[in-house]
Amino acid sequence: MPKKIYTQILKDKDTNARLGYIDLPHGRVETPAFMPVGTNATVKGIYHDKIREIGYDIILANTYHLYLRPGMEVIKQFGGLHRFCSWDRNILTDSGGFQVFSLSGLRKIREDGVTFQSHIDGSRHVFTPEKVVDIQSIIGSDIAMCLDVCTPPGIAHRNAEEAWRVTRLWAERSIKERDRLGEEFRGHLFGIVQGNFYEDLRKESAQVISDMNFSGVAIGGLSVGESKEDFNHFLAHTSQFITEEKPRYVMGIGSPDYIFECVENGIDLFDCVLATRIARNGAVFTDDGLVTLKKAIHKFDERPLDENCTCTACRKYSRAYMHHLIKCNEMFGGMLATEHNLTYLHTLLERIRQSIREGFFSSFKKEYLERYYGKEK
């Protein structure tokens, strides 16, 4: 069995929200935690030093993209991704399964693996469960995800069942490859729950993956175009069948309502590109909702983005200046907004952890969401 990496400190009295920490090769991560996305070994629009300064202990990178560029030969020469990108804390890498799923007509899934064409130059490649584990071993991932079959909403039960069957087979093969590598594999392998939007398949998948020889469990197949109601339902349905002994992870979650929903259902880790993507387009998080900086109402506004925020933008600049930078498409505007959004989410998770610790998570969630979604500016 892999080493136990998750410790639960306490559980909320009214919900499944829980407080804990995950011990990883590059340090401890307090949970629940949000992870900034650094697809190409860089979180867009911000220095790694600034991400450390904000307080993040883990970021996400993408196996598919790193495999294509710069390639494993380059990363191997540097002894792994940490040295290559000068990040001395933890890195989670996804398997590339979602990116391959997104390629649609450019890939073909078989039981032995998936054949796909590069979105860069059209060259053909093959990912097998073993190869994906090997790639993440070269990367030096602190958390590595096994290859899975991601499916869209609306497919027939028989197709969802077949996708889960292949996902299970690939999970077993991923474990065998990790064990074969032995000490060469320095991180921790997570399994992925699938089953599409069918309760019976979700239950079976959650129970099987939980019982397998993984260090953690991710809930896959959510945030793939389904309604918010379906997301909430299948998140709650699935999470109840996942062991509490291992960390739980949901991919692609980054807005406050989804974050609170995940935390309430006992999820420990989540990530999303939303914070950095909207920042580059001039939208920033505040307790009073999303602020769209391109709007003319900010042209003469001398207030900071958020009076309680400690980011550079809020300490030094006005909304009027931020409005000017965004309207002029200045790179500096996107950088400041990115730092703000990542600072805001890190602080929000600190507040959530405090609410769990002090026993008022449910009331905090209610009051926060009522204020945040009450208006947009």
Hey, which residues are catalytic here?
94, 271
Torsion angles phi and psi, residue 253, rounded to 5:
-115, 120
Q: With both helix axes pointing from N to C terminus, report the angle between 129-139 and 157-181 in degrees, rounded to the nearest 10.
A: 50
Residue 336 CB neighbours (<10 A): 27
27-31 β-sheet, strand order: 6-11, 18-24, 27-31
Q: How far apart are CA 318 and CA 299, in angstroms?
A: 10
| Dihedral sign from CA coordinates of 150, 151, 157, 162 | negative
Question: Which residues of the chain form beta strands (DSSP E)?
Answer: 6-11, 18-24, 27-31, 33-36, 58-62, 90-94, 107-109, 114-117, 124-127, 143-145, 188-193, 216-219, 248-250, 269-272, 283-286, 289-292
Q: Residues near 337 by Cβ (< 8 Å), separated by ≥ 6?
A: 45, 279, 280, 282, 283, 284, 293, 313, 322, 326
114-117 β-sheet, strand order: 107-109, 114-117, 124-127
Q: Both tokens of residue 90?
A: 């933890």
